[in-house]
Amino acid sequence: LSSLSLFFNPFDNLVCILLGISLTVWFTLLLVFIIVPAIFGVSFGIRRLYMKTLLKLFEWATLRIERGAKENNHHLYKPYSNAIIAREPTSLEEEIKEIRRSGSNRDLDSAPEFEMSDIFYFARRGVESIMDDEVTKRFSAEELESWNLLTRSNNNFHYISLRLTVLWGLGLLIRYGFLLPLRVTLAFTGVGLLVFLTCLIGLLPSGRLKNFLSEKVHLMCYRICVRALTAIITYHNSENKPKNGGICVANHTSPIDVIILASDGCYAMVGQIHGGLMGVIQRSMVKACPHIWFERSEVKDRHLVAKRLSDHVEDKTKLPILIFPEGTCINNTSVMMFKKGSFDIGATVYPVAIKYDPRFGDAFWNSSKFGMVNYLLRMMSSWAIVCSVWYLPPMSREADEDAVQFANRVKAAIARQGGLVDLLWDGGLKRGKVKDTFKEEQQKLYSKMLVGTPEDRSRS
């Protein structure tokens, strides 16, 4: 045992020195390349270079998988990727003919007439649509067409080749061994600074200096958080950025949306006060500039909420309010119905469209599947989060519109810009003319089978 201690002693010192040096180098690099640019809002362009390299890598990986799959005759993309039930794409005619064929021995072409079994087709189609409709699909994560070296986004990860597996393993090492600790450090730095500095600023008297400083501090801390997620954001049309006294409205995919928007401009946040770390952050933020936080009990009272929002909006020295009217996280392929509360207030609305690039990592938070911490860890261990933000020109409610129509108009604009599907799903949609024309088509198809088209009839 004593010989072992002799063995370790000189190395002990060496190890300590090496550790010390590497830590210092590490922190200096961190400071110079990440924190200082965050403070001043400049960028070295490292992240974009990183993104380009990653894309090339993913292309290679996808090609490799496709080649491998062809060689082994695997089915690479599940044919019904988003469906719960198997729906055959056969037409009305084909299906009904099939039903009849199995039921009778008659020569079909001679007398196409009504059969009692025809109703099976319509009944089944109807119940299929009850089981699997458009709306539920929007709540699960989008499926990918290329592989980004994350097993979580590829359902059919088979062993294809040694090179690919090695690459994947290397990627795993880099992501969990290097990127994750780096990001967690940054995240803690960012949040810690936010809490600390906003508390300091809270001690100052209200005035121009306080507002100026609070703006700078908020921006700086959000920028550090953006780097903590390696988020590569492209802002479009910055001339339309929201101004004081307005309401900024955006589509919601994940809690990260807040960080993305707030690192480019200052907003007053709206939300419920939570306990724990979140609550600490909220309480310190409100010391530096007026955010709108509600107690749990106040949230149910619509009039109170509306009043506080409109009071805030009328004061032109206060920052624009940031609201996500969908009310819940959607998987970034479509925009769901907007809740009308924020459109009722009568302020100018600045719509913003956020679209995440799914090639790098799925930013959608499925709150029924993952908790917040789990989600953040997943985000921090994926390659990068790439997204685009479009600032749309401001809109106001017109004289002949009510809040719901205004909300729909804004929603359509956001969906169009972000390339998302505008789902006009509305539980209260009354039976209107639109539905009748579709029903007529079905009826036309069926009657053609039974009695032929009007031209046939007149000819015979």
Partner 1 sequence: MGFNGTSPLLDQRGELRPEDFGAIRELSMNPIGDRIISAFFSPGKETVDFASFVRILAHFHPTETSRSRDGVQPEPANSRTRKLKFAFQLYDQDRDGKISREELLQVLRTMLEMQVTEEQLQSIAERAIQEADLDQDDAISFDEFRKSLEKVDIDHKMSIRFLS
Exposed/middle/buried for residue 426 (C-beta within 10 Å: 0-12, 13-18, 19+): exposed
Nearest residue (CB) to partner 1, 4 versus 116: 116
Q: Is 83 in the site for partner 1 (CB under 8 A)?
A: yes
Ordered DSSP codes for 394-437: PB---TT--HHHHHHHHHHHHHHHHT-EE----TT----HHHHH
CB nearer partner 1, residue 74 or residue 236: 74
CB-CB contact of 346 with 310 (8 Å): yes
**Residue window 91-130: x/- pattern of binding to partner 1, with contact defined by CB under 8 A:** ----x--xx--xxx--------xxxxxxxxxxxxxxxxxx
Considering only the stretches 26-34, 165-173, 276-284, 431-439, report the one whose residues sit in contact with partner 1 under the rule CB under 8 A.
Answer: 431-439
Q: Is 276 in the site for partner 1 (CB under 8 A)?
A: no
Q: Which of 58, 76, 56 is nearest to 67 (CA)?
A: 76
Minimum distance from residue 119 beta carbon to partner 1 (Å): 6
- Using the structure block, give the residue that is written with the tokens 């550790």: 19
Considering the rule CB under 8 A, would residue 302 count as an interface residue with partner 1?
no
CB of 58 or CB of 122, closer to partner 1? 122
Closer residue to partner 1 in complex, CB, 38/335: 335
User: 62-71 in b/e burial notation, b at 16+ Cβ within 10 A?
Assistant: bebbeebbee
The residue assigned the tokens 């009071």 is 311
Residue 341 Cβ vs partner 1, minimum distance, rounded to whole Å: 16
358: Cα separation from own chain's centroid = 9
Q: Please report whether residue 235 would count as binding partner 1 according to CB under 8 A.
A: no
Q: Does 317 bind partner 1 (CB under 8 A)?
A: no
Size of the site for partner 1 (CB under 8 A): 54
What whole-number distance in Å separates Cα of residue 363 and Cα of residue 150? 13
| CB of 373 vs partner 1, minimal distance in Å | 20
* Residue ranges in 229-343 assigned as alpha helix (H): 256-262, 276-288, 296-299, 302-314
- Interatomic CA distance for residues 260 and 272, integer angstroms: 20
- Sort residue 41 into left (φ over 0), alpha (ψ -120 to 50) or beta: left
Residue whose CB is less far from partner 1, 277 or 429: 429
Q: Which of 139, 157, 235, 294 binds partner 1 (CB under 8 A)?
A: 139
**One of 1, 4, 6, 85 touching partner 1 (CB under 8 A):** 85
Please identify which residue in 80, 178, 196, 212 interacts with partner 1, judged by CB under 8 A.
80
Of the candidates 90, 307, 444, 456, which one interacts with partner 1 according to CB under 8 A? 444
Burial of 243 per CB tally in 10 Å (0-12, 13-18, 19+):
middle
CB atoms within 10 A of CB 362: 25
User: Contact with partner 1 (CB under 8 A): which of 45, 89, 276, 427?
Assistant: 427
Measured distance CA(83)–CA(85) in Å, rounded: 6
165 scored as a contact of partner 1 (CB under 8 A): no
> In this structure, are strands 231-236 and 385-391 parallel, antiparallel, or unpaired?
parallel
Binding mask 364-403 for partner 1 (x = CB under 8 A): ----x-----------------------------------
Q: Which residues bind partner 1 (CB under 8 A)?
A: 80, 83-86, 95, 98-99, 102-104, 113-131, 133-136, 139, 336, 368, 425-427, 429-431, 435, 438-440, 442-444, 446-447, 450-451
